[in-house]
Copies of this chain bind each other. A is one copy, B any other.
């Protein structure tokens, strides 16, 4: 820990002077005071990316939902719970030279999540929740006035990974998509390894299965090259 803190102070490398935003972790969307909808994300990959960017000299703003992974030492950490809070924190963190949207953000929130616990009633009637779309942080930043020079999104897919991620890149307007196959059989979700495909204007570049730390360093190196 002390070594990492010292390294953060002695920052140097190709990203020196660059300010980079990284989002990480899940969001939690309240249903009522005791229940919420969550996305599976340990935050491991996001923390590793922030650390890799800092090891190349970058200043990192780290906006994180309630993740299990430790926060990256040396980053400016902003803790949020919901997608709407994350959108506001991201907006406040701009301008940046690059942004890496690694968080697993909920697509929907529960409308009028109340201060009273929803009770199970004796008749067995099931509750229903009205859902509304959350702000699309990746599209908003990619198409907005404060767009960083490089915007990197993530896509967690279970089917047609490359086709879905390629379409997502165009639809959102970001530069790159790091696509993952998160089918339960892969063990990537919550695991230590990742097998990513980097989607850019040049097409799909599949990376081999490697640790999340190695995935982070490969991505950070590519970001440093792109910002040269």
Contact = CB atoms under 8 A, between A and B. Distances in A.
Given A126-B131, A131-B127, A182-B117, A189 B33 contact: yes
Interface residues of A, number: 37
A97 interface: no
A39 interface: yes
B116 A158 contact: yes
A124 interface: yes
28 contacts: A28-B38, A31-B37, A33-B40, A34-B39, A34-B40, A34-B156, A34-B182, A34-B189, A35-B38, A35-B40, A35-B106, A36-B37, A36-B38, A37-B37, A37-B38, A68-B68, A108-B126, A116-B158, A117-B156, A117-B157, A117-B158, A117-B182, A119-B164, A120-B133, A124-B133, A126-B131, A126-B133, A128-B128
Nearest to A134: B120
Nearest to A28: B38
B120 A107 contact: yes
A123 B115 CA distance: 31
Q: Give the 10 A-B residue pairs with the shortest CB-CB distance, closest first.
A: A117-B158, A107-B120, A126-B131, A116-B158, A38-B38, A34-B40, A33-B184, A37-B37, A35-B39, A33-B158
Contacts of A177: none
A143 interface: no
Contact of A33 (B31, B38, B124, B182): B182
A170 interface: no
Chain copies in the assembly? Answer: 2
A35 B182 CA distance: 12
Interface in A129-169: 131-133, 156-159, 164
A31 to B, nearest CB: 7
Contacts of A128: 128, 131
A117 to B, nearest CB: 5
A86 interface: no
A100 interface: no
A115 B157 CA distance: 11
A39 B38 CA distance: 10
